[in-house]
Structure 1
């Protein structure tokens, strides 16, 4: 029982922090970028909502409620990164992240569903082999949550360092990093198999 828990937890963490999960990491970068340590409740809520989206997707695929089209999912995931990057670029230096939190809440949940479909393909076999599928999904989701919080902490810490020690303005920092992420995701979208 405890071995299964640790294994599922590790799989959840691994699927977020592994280098092959770079699209997931890019999304977490642009999601966390506008926030400071003092916003920890807000970022925790956003990350948890994103995890809930993953959990719902895993459940829907595991119980054969939704079928998975890998081509569409592999297009939608970088599209979510593009949308959040553009949102950051156009709202950097403004209070939008504070005032439009309900909007961000629902968008993050929806994007979590999309990213969860990307994970579902890899994790479905592991979940299906488990005696208690729902418990396996929750254990993996806990691992995903921990992995996402690790990435968010690193992003917020680097933001703090660059804005306090290197004196980047908050607006410039958000715009530059979001533009870098945007530039790295555009080729993924353009060369996507959906259009070939």
Structure 2
């Protein structure tokens, strides 16, 4: 079984190197920062596809100057360019479009200011490649945008999903699992709110490294027989998931800070983003449990294979987590 685990890990590392990153495919990012006097500083960030920028291009409202932007520069993860646009009469009522987005499976986050300091965010996808800039986004617009952003963030966050997956493998019994997931949810909701509102400030690199360490710890516990595991993880796993949930919440907050929150609607956007994270997490848990249930139904001997399969999974999870730990500490 050890040999099988090593083979699986080798195949994963060689054939799917993108999985080694916490977020396999970044979204496009368009930021329009108001400078006053009908001028906007535009920052355009395109995902990298095989060493080249993804073939998507922003189109600002017709009232804006749409001169060709400077050539993008690769920053090690994506391609970025920037320029200053003049939009006579402002952005309100204009259409912002991302050409080529309909041919992709990614999304683009549009962060814009109608006036300096008045931030709004809109999410564009392959199904919705353009939107009309509203004068004052309503409650439903903010809720839908930030719930979708929360769902997308958790489902694209391989590290967070891997932690939840390890919890599902580690904890035995429905009640213990329910308490552990509830504790994880409560904890990351607390630190997400505290960090986003500025009550708690910790630099992102150490947070990301500790998130990887939390996954490595669970992988180590999974590799041990139940009687040899840490008593805390075996008897009261909700305490462990609560403690690690506090750290993961800081990671969610870092992503939300990059996106930005609408001025005057911070509590609503924060609530919506957190709801989106929870919906994505629940969707993932239901999917994993459904796959496990179907496997038992289709292959009755699957239950007897649970222990060796769990140990095999621990090697794969631990290898990825160890890689992330080294990568993130090296990035300090």
TM-score (norm 2): 0.51
Distance in 1 (alpha carbons) for counterparts of 2:319 and 2:312: 10
Q: Which protein shows a greater Rg?
A: 2
Distance in 2 (alpha carbons) for counterparts of 1:142 and 1:195: 31
Q: Could you tell me which residue of structure 2 aligns to residue 179 of structure 1?
A: 315
Q: Which of 152, 157, 164 matches 1:28?
A: 164
Q: Which of 127, 149, 155 matches 2:288?
A: 155
SS in 2 for 1:191: helix
Q: Could you tell me which residue of structure 1 aligns to residue 277 of structure 2?
A: 144
After superposition, the Cα gap between the structure-2 partners of 1:193 and 1:126, relative to the gap in structure 1 and judged at 3 Å, is same
Q: Which of 139, 142, 145 matches 1:7?
A: 145
Q: Could you tell me which residue of structure 1 aligns to residue 266 of structure 2?
A: 133
Distance in 1 (alpha carbons) for counterparts of 2:198 and 2:148: 25
SS in 1 for 2:198: coil
Q: Does residue 88 of structure 1 match 2:222?
A: yes
Q: Could you tell me which residue of structure 2 aligns to residue 120 of structure 1?
A: 253
Q: Which runs of 5+ in 1 are unaligned?
A: none
Report the aligned-residue RMSD: 2.8
Give runs of aligned pairs for residues 1-80 of structure 1, distance below 5 A.
1-18=139-156, 21-34=157-170, 39=174, 41-80=175-214
- Kindly state the Cα deviation for residue 33 of structure 1 after the two structures are TM-superposed: 1.8
- Kindly state the Cα deviation for residue 195 of structure 1 after the two structures are TM-superposed: 7.1
CA contact (8 A) 2:262 2:269 kept: no
Distance in 1 (alpha carbons) for counterparts of 2:290 and 2:258: 36
| Structure having greater relative contact order (Cα 8 Å, sep ≥ 6) | 1
Distance in 1 (alpha carbons) for counterparts of 2:272 and 2:240: 24
Q: Which runs of 5+ in 2 are unaligned?
A: 1-138
After superposition, the Cα gap between the structure-2 partners of 1:98 and 1:177, relative to the gap in structure 1 and judged at 3 Å, is same
- Kindly state the Cα deviation for residue 111 of structure 1 after the two structures are TM-superposed: 1.0
Distance in 2 (alpha carbons) for counterparts of 1:143 and 1:10: 6
SS in 2 for 1:90: coil
SS in 2 for 1:192: helix
Number of aligned residues: 190
Distance in 2 (alpha carbons) for counterparts of 1:124 and 1:76: 19
- Kindly state the Cα deviation for residue 32 of structure 1 after the two structures are TM-superposed: 1.2
- Kindly state the Cα deviation for residue 191 of structure 1 after the two structures are TM-superposed: 2.6
Deviations 1:85-144 (A, max 9, x none): 11222244889799613xx11211121111111121121255632523233222222211
Which of 117-126 and 2-11 deviates more? 117-126
More helix by share: 1
CA contact (8 A) 1:5 1:139 kept: yes
